Structure 1
């Protein structure tokens, strides 16, 4: 975390009541000017910008009349349930999943995660002796985390149990204690590289612990490696082979690896991947056999032609980085310039991914987001990064800087900071 207390100015919390009222009145005046500006800006979702989408426009005319894979198979027809082998090979290294154990499917990994949970609820998973849905079900949820993960669980009545997410991954001691005392726990959400929203990267020590902890044979790590290739600097983590570590620990079926090209090419027309142990892959393929007679292999061929190989994928992601790096720098600059002098907030400085996690004064996040919205700046709802939207501290705000143009982003960040300062001053005065 980057400390906001980098300025010699007196933090708001250290001001006497009269000085704090004066500061609040100044923030109110600045906020009134912000409202008068009539802004309509959006920092809510981590979407690629139009400039990023343009990087993949060749997909719109690829594959240039080609419709056969390297083996000569006509990809216009039924079949090929596992997906295009050449595309699976491109992503196998980044995801650390052998190509034979990596499936290329539809356009959304969230859909695969959803279907995996539904199949487990109805039929159970390899190693289990009954369907998950035959009894109470719980999932461990590292926080702050991804709201759409939580929504899947909430939709099917799966109880979510939050545990703290550190800079190196979930609090292993907390996870171990839960697994030892609660046999309803069947899964855990994981975003191991550039976690949403904090940007945390799981360490090998934490991963070894997660695959080794005593747990039921049908306990699964939902390993959502959504940002495995989404680097923002040259300081890049080494990919961790969770499948090999799990096999070495005697729990080969524990991880289910998910990923997609949603933030590599076109979110609405990409390719999703799922990988796992041979037993898990066989189980997934059997389940898919009654849903589909094969994925969109022509779209997969388009992606293979665009990216070509692992080096082509890396070069493509460098072009994304050139667009995104200045935006994340703008977040750091704005928070440091506007919040740091007042001791307001701590935030992450991610080396990749799509988000910045900002913690403001306890009890002021919802108010800050409300103020921002009323000034025309949409921000992800406070609490969205916690199960059931319940942040017990009311402190976390997720910033998604990727979508707006850089000038709009700077304006939105400046306005958000004004809202945060006013909310913090109000919260401190209310406690006096």
Structure 2
């Protein structure tokens, strides 16, 4: 097709008319497709259907002989902490196993920090004049929602393709009011990028104005590979300890996108001091987690090798869907200049940067054609994308045929919005 900026006025009008007609035909099909959230598909959940029969009648005792039906076990079963030790990058004694939601753990850690402070805090964060978090962009909308809910200022920094712009991060972190930073370091939501070792080392070692600065290290996609290569990242807990900041990182993960999304396990890993702090707070909130579910997980996955084999099953289901999105975008948009997009090696999302000023229009066009997309701006703090260009696509939940169809329609919407913008720019 060629870049639209190179088209003459007459050619641009012809192309716009042709694409608009294609869009109207697509819209007339009366589709109903959803690419909004990164949910596992039913066939992914089926991979863990064997868990539903566990632990089995009379098989509810832990390896230590304790009855998992009863109260207690605030930190989580030792055998479960050992199972996820490699994934979390921490020894079992520095891991806590919660209930089903790592987002809930992050929420609680923010709230407890506001109310009580964290190890090293001179005072609770809520008593600071205007506490703030550094927020890499594009980022995870639910991280931003926690900050907005509790009045924590959000300071955006761009991602570079190898992690956040560390010069910008270090400049912001020098402010004593900056208490933390959101990080999705591997297969980031939504860009899919992997933080480089250099970036992680700088995050671990950088000076901070606040003595109680915390990295909220949401390693949600640590084993969620889309290729046969299992990418690795530097261990943030080890690097923080080596740099003399052993308490800097709170590491979070879950099995929500590993086993059963609504019935997984949430995981927290940190220094010894941070774990003591967490358990002291959590002990006022609960008498203990669901240990039967913990037994289910350890008996189903068994060990780290079993976890990796299980994730290979996810990869075989998901990789064709991600390939289908790339094929559709490449076929329709490849040389037009209206968009660029990520080709992640893992995770749950594809990020599309459309032409500036068109993301909201793309979402509108998609909705009119029966396709639900994540709202434009969702990947930025306060829902405000200064360039109105970033779109987050979630191809995991629909069937492969639905992903192919939706991707064709989304590409058409992106092209139509770009052509409209190009014509308006020529005024």
Counterpart for residue 24 of structure 2? 32
Which residue, out of 346, 364, 380, partners 1:352?
346
User: 2 CA distance for matches of 1:337 and 1:156?
Assistant: 44
Q: Does 1:158 align with 2:159?
A: no
Deviation, 1:95, is: 1.7
Q: 1:246 touches 1:255 (CA, 8 Å); kept in 2? A: yes
Residue by residue over 1:72-105, the C-alpha shift from the partner in whole angstroms, topping out at 9 and shown as x without a partner, is 0111111100111111111110221111101111
Residue by residue over 1:56-83, the C-alpha shift from the partner in whole angstroms, topping out at 9 and shown as x without a partner, is 1112111112111111011111110011
- The within-5 A match list for 1:209-224 is 209-215=202-208, 216-224=210-218
Deviation, 1:204, is: 1.1
Which residue, out of 110, 122, 143, partners 2:103?
110
Counterpart for residue 266 of structure 1? 260
Counterpart for residue 7 of structure 2? 15
Deviation, 1:239, is: 3.8
Deviation, 1:237, is: 2.1
User: 1 CA distance for matches of 2:347 and 2:377?
Assistant: 20
Q: 2:342 touches 2:350 (CA, 8 Å); kept in 1? A: yes
Counterpart for residue 404 of structure 1? 398
Q: 2:194 touches 2:233 (CA, 8 Å); kept in 1? A: no
Deviation, 1:130, is: 0.2
Of 232-241 and 339-348, the range deviating more from structure 2: 232-241
- The within-5 A match list for 1:13-92 is 13-65=5-57, 66-92=59-85
Counterpart for residue 119 of structure 1? 112
Deviation, 1:419, is: 0.8
User: 2 CA distance for matches of 1:159 and 1:305?
Assistant: 43
- The within-5 A match list for 1:148-227 is 148-180=142-174, 182-215=175-208, 216-227=210-221
Deviation, 1:31, is: 1.0
User: 1 CA distance for matches of 2:357 and 2:98?
Assistant: 43
User: 1 CA distance for matches of 2:104 and 2:78?
Assistant: 21
- The within-5 A match list for 1:218-237 is 218-237=212-231
Residue by residue over 1:326-365, the C-alpha shift from the partner in whole angstroms, topping out at 9 and shown as x without a partner, is 0111111111101114222111110000001110100011
Instruction: Count how many residue pairs are aligned between Structure 1 and Structure 2.
Output: 423
Q: 1:197 touches 1:357 (CA, 8 Å); kept in 2? A: yes
User: 2 CA distance for matches of 1:219 and 1:281?
Assistant: 16
Deviation, 1:220, is: 0.2
Deviation, 1:183, is: 2.0
Deviation, 1:240, is: 2.1
User: 2 CA distance for matches of 1:95 and 1:346?
Assistant: 33
User: 2 CA distance for matches of 1:275 and 1:352?
Assistant: 22
Q: 2:321 touches 2:400 (CA, 8 Å); kept in 1? A: yes
Aligned-residue Cα RMSD (Å) equals 0.9
Secondary structure of the equivalent of 1:351?
coil
Counterpart for residue 6 of structure 1? none
User: 1 CA distance for matches of 2:202 and 2:336?
Assistant: 40
Q: 2:140 touches 2:190 (CA, 8 Å); kept in 1? A: yes
Deviation, 1:292, is: 0.3
Q: Which runs of 5+ in 2 are unaligned?
A: none
Q: Which runs of 5+ in 1 are unaligned?
A: 1-8
Q: 2:195 touches 2:233 (CA, 8 Å); kept in 1? A: no
Secondary structure of the equivalent of 2:280?
helix
Counterpart for residue 289 of structure 1? 283
Counterpart for residue 127 of structure 2? 134
Normalised by the length of structure 1, the TM-score is 0.97
Normalised by the length of structure 2, the TM-score is 0.98
